[in-house]
Structure 1
Amino acid sequence: MNAAIPTTADNRALVEAAHRGLAQTWIEFESALAQVPVVARLLAGKLRLEDYRRLLFNLRQQVVEGSRWISRAASNLGPNHEELRSLFVRHAVAEHRDYRLLEDNYVAAGGTAEDIRAGRMNIGSEALSAFMYHAASRPDPVGLLGAMYVIEGLGERLAGPWSQAIREQLGLGDEAVSFLAYHGANDGDHLDMFDRALALAIADRATADEIVRHARIVARLYRLQLEEIDHV
């Protein structure tokens, strides 16, 4: 936690409680994620090139919206959350071209740019994106920090090992796994920013609970996105 942030014993206790709730959510999410067919094949060393292309294709349709909902959330943070709004804006800038990496990886894995750009969101992606925009459109949507915790956690904890496993199983070069590799290398910094944002945002129990609740919702919807690959 950044020492420049004014804290009280009550604030620290609330932040710590939120961290515990988020950590438990992550444990449950990672365990359930391992049962999703495409992830299970990856973890078992049985991923097929077709599986990887389908994963990239489906992720791109939702990732393209990421910086947009973060920007909307920033625009709805009021005067009491000015510093938090600045953090959201910087995060949106960092994320706004991620979908291009997915397009490049898809082409490097044997697909075409025209196909992936013409794709539609699957059922799970539609649900996830709709929730993100709904939450971001509310006044002072600090609960979305829970969503960021789950999504950035995927990058910090799983993207690096997944990119290495995909390279080894499919014999692909770096140009085909740059999206996962980038997030594996950089999302730890994003989680450092998240810790600061959490301390800025949490002033009461209701806010702490809302952040954990958003994390649980997004964990379930993100898993649904992977369960519903190609189901549009």
Structure 2
Amino acid sequence: MTTYATTTSADAAPQVAVSLYERLAEVWTHLEEQLDEVPVLRRLADGTVTIDDYRRLLFNLRQQVVDGSPWISRAAASFDIAHFELRSAAIRHAEEEHRDYLMIERDYVAVGGSLDELRAGRKNIGSEALSGYMFHYAAQPNPVGLLGAMFIIEGLGAQRAAGWAARFQEVLGLADSQVHFMRYHQQADAEHTGALEAILSSGMIDDAAADDIVRCAEVVARLYVMQLTELDS
């Protein structure tokens, strides 16, 4: 069973937080380099993306987003009373996200997709790997490392989703109602990243937890890129 200190010393806490932010920043930089090589995002950047590309992206994102609230709920159940703040945060987060897949469904139908086909779809190889990893990790005792997963997933929503939405609109002439999922997550995930930053700098994270957070962020970043790359696999 993995356990973590719920607090660090007053002197150590700022140092741990600074080091953690620096390490996570390196993970994020590498993630952005990998995203630049994702085929659908390259086409989006150079203006050759098609409406079929956008539908395929929504189709694949929906299959993974459906699992988001369940794995967060499982993580909440895995925190003991010594990690009450993290359990409470996970419960709130799961409640906020459990309807997110419905926004994708509406966007998908709005650009000509079939709701029945979308709901009958399955995860691609990357999504299977990502969801499997998240559910496995969430079931571990006190899965503090999942804060690294949140850093990646919420960071993508807060920092990249709105830009992707605007570019899809620019190239394909889409209305706001057809990119609602991506636009919504700029604000919603910015709020989530703010809450995450408060936890990371609160003194609850010790060196061992920081190591697990960074490692989880590295794994999730790689699997998320795989999900975006393997759209038809």
Code of the aligned partner of 2:97 = E
State the distance in 1 between where 2:167 and 2:231 align.
20
Which of 120, 139, 144 lines up with 1:142 in the alignment? 144
Which of residues 48, 51, 54 in structure 2 aligns to 1:52? 54
How far apart, CA to CA, are the structure 2 residues paired with 1:93 and 1:204?
A: 28
CA contact 1:81–1:201 (8 Å) conserved in 2:
no
CA distance in 1, matches of 2:35, 2:89: 29
1:189 equivalent among 188, 191, 208: 191
Amino acid corresponding to residue 186 of structure 1 in structure 2: A
Are the aligned partners of 1:147 and 1:218 in contact in 2 as well (CA < 8 Å)?
A: yes
* Aligned match for 1:90, one of 89, 92, 96: 92
Deviation (angstroms), 1:197: 2.2
Q: Following the alignment from structure 2 to structure 1, what is the Cα–Cα distance between the partners of residues 220 and 8?
A: 29
**Structure 2 length as normaliser, TM-score?**
0.94
Number of paired residues?
227
Question: Does structure 2 conserve the Cα–Cα contact (< 8 Å) formed by 1:41 and 1:47?
Answer: yes
Amino acid at match of 2:19: A
Task: Check the 8 A contact 1:63/1:99 in 2, yes or no.
Answer: yes
Superposed, 1:176-215 pairs within 5 Å as 176-200=178-202, 202-215=204-217
The 5 Å alignment of 1:1-232 reads 8-200=10-202, 202-231=204-233
Contact 1:201 1:207 in 2 (8 A): no
Structure 1 stretch 8-17 or stretch 123-132: which is displaced more?
8-17
Tell me: CA distance 1:199–1:7, structure 2 relative to 1, closer, same or farther (3 Å): farther
Q: How big is the shift at 1:185?
A: 2.2
Question: Is the Cα contact below 8 Å between 2:147 and 2:213 reproduced in 1?
Answer: yes
- Structure 1 residue 86: deviation in Å? 0.6
Q: Percent identity?
A: 49
1:203 shift after superposition: 3.8
Distance 1:201 1:69 in 2: 25
Question: Take 1:8 and 1:109, find their aligned partners in 2: how far apart are those partners?
Answer: 53
* SS at structure 2 position matched to 1:46: coil
Change (3 A) 1:109 1:166: same
In structure 2, give the amino acid aligned to 1:181: R
Amino acid at match of 2:60: N
2:31 and 2:222 in contact (8 A); partners too: yes
Q: Distance in 2 between matches of 1:167 and 1:32?
A: 23
Q: Determine if contact 2:78/2:143 at 8 Å carries over to the other structure.
A: yes
Residue type of the alignment partner of 1:193: A
User: What amino acid does structure 1 have at the position aligned with 2:210?
Assistant: A
Q: Quickly say closer, same or farther: Cα 1:6–1:143, change in 2 above 3 A.
A: closer
Asked if the contact 1:78–1:140 (Cα under 8 Å) also holds between the matched residues in 2, the reply is yes
Question: What is the deviation of 1:175?
Answer: 1.3
In the other structure, the counterpart of 2:4 is: none
Q: Indicate the SS of the match to 1:47.
A: coil
Q: Tell me the TM-score normalized by structure 1.
A: 0.95
Which runs of 4 or more aligned residues in structure 1 lie more than 6 Å from their structure 2 counterparts after TM superposition?
Answer: none
Deviations 1:172-215 (A, max 9, x none): 11111000000012211111110122235744211101100000
